[in-house]
Amino acid sequence: MSAIALIEAGIDRLSGFVFATVPIGGVEVQLVVLWLAVAMVFMTFWLGIPQVRGFSEAWRILRGRYWDPSAPGEVSQFAALTTALSGTIGLGNIAGIGVALTVGGPGAIFWMFVIGLFAMGLKCAEVTLGLMFREELSYGRVRGGAWVTLERGLASIGLPKLGRGLGLFHAFLMIGGSLSLFQVNQAFPPVAQQFGVESRLGFGLFFAFMVALVLLGSIRWIGRATSVLVPAMSLIFMAGCLTILFAGFERIPGAIGLIVSEAFTAESAFGGMLGAFVTGMRRAIYSCEAGLGTAVAAHAQAKTRQPASEGLVALIEPFMDTVVMCTITGIAFVVAGTWDPATNGGLQGVEIATAAFATISSWFPMLLAVAVFLFAYATVIANGFYAAEACQYLFGHGRKRELAVKAAFCCILPLGVILEMGKIVDFVDSVYFLMAVPNIIGLYLLAKPLRAEMQRYFHERQLGN
């Protein structure tokens, strides 16, 4: 058996273990999906529904109302948000929506919307804890991430050994989960088709070089780059989707009606949950990286003395990514009619998006190709930062070590256009979902100090402090 075959067989076994199922009502439901769903609902109500209570406050924070340049941290709260968003707003918003529609039908879009709302509460919880337990290093940097939260947070309640063990496990998984092979793989087809690129390896090497230009800098470089890339790529893609909706304006009521009605048929409801919670989250459709702890490392770099304030900023991630962007994208694809496997000739993933954009104009897929490249590029930059932070937690801090990890990360990227996509997705998603296990255990154990911090923040704001 060849090395590639052995790797693929190992990935199959890992995926089977992570996505083990239990029968519920005659339907096989994945245990890890239930694990995340319960945590989303619990944290939403435990924190007093912060996605409603603190939504307007989050936007005030982003506008710099409470900006404190002397606060610990390295970037503004806006830059921390855009860095985190660059890791969650990605190809999942394009290719993943197509997959979710194929698996769950139009009803999947409804469930994505609902789950995105609950994801806001979970994201707020883990980021608030991340700021509560981040560490200021001797040479001026801030150290933070889910692994730091687990180690320092659980030590604060008398569980140092458990915290250290869970932190090491999470950081190890983060390294594997951050390998951005899927982004490179899916960025190639539209770019190749629209711009005549033929060499897969050549594209992979060029992509890796472009990532290295930003990633080998500091978090300030990454923050500046994502502060530009995230709004730019979002506007380009949303402009295309809104054009589709405008051109098919008369079909929008029917599309929305189909999405809602199919969400509540027995088959579509389950398929929709799969599309939103399994297919969707496995492809980073939305920031239900809430629960995985991935974005905590980026938010931990924010300049603020108020942990809960960054938690409120973080809940904007699922709102922008899932509640807004994924919903608009899904409606656009339904309006265009390119999602239906019965009539689209077997299109899947990003091909559904390309076909939808082509219904407007022959040059519109070129616009999509640019958006796809920017989505992939920004996501890979963020993931490279996360991988470097996890490595430094495991093996020690230092600028030379950080650069070495980031360089190695860039060297791995060209493999994304060589390996088969399905196996890439199965591996990365299996590792990502495993991160939810130690991360959510920590959230439950630290639930009391978390709620106390959130209540303290809102009380001070009510007093005008």
Helix, strand, or coil (residue 295): coil
Closest among 356, 462, 431, 373 to 57, alpha carbons compared? 462
What number of H helices and E strands is found in the chain? 25, 4
Average pLDDT over residues 205-216: 85
HSE-CB of 459 using CA atoms within 13 angstroms: 6
Whether the pLDDT of residue 322 is over 50: the answer is yes
Is the pLDDT at 115 greater than 80, yes or no? yes
Token digits of residue 427: 């591996």
The class (CATH top level) of 14-458 is: mainly alpha
| Domain layout of the chain by residue ranges | 14-458
For residue 218, the tally of other CB atoms under 10 A from its CB is 14
152-169 residue pLDDT tens:
999 999 999 999 999 999
Asked if residue 50 lies in contact with residue 311, where contact means CB atoms within 8 angstroms, the answer is yes
In order, the DSSP letters of 205-262 are HHHHHHHHHHHTS-HHHHHHHHHHHHHHHHHHHHHHHHHHHHHTGGGHHHHHHHHHHH
Distance CA 165, CA 157 (A): 15
228-260 burial, b for 16+ CB within 10 Å, e for fewer? ebbeebbebbbebbebbbeebeebeeebbebbe
pLDDT at 272: 45
Q: Are 391 and 143 in contact (CB under 8 A)?
A: no
pLDDT digits (tens, 9 = 90+) for 333-352: 999 888 877 777 777 777 78
Tell me what pLDDT residue 374 has: 80
Residues in the chain: 465
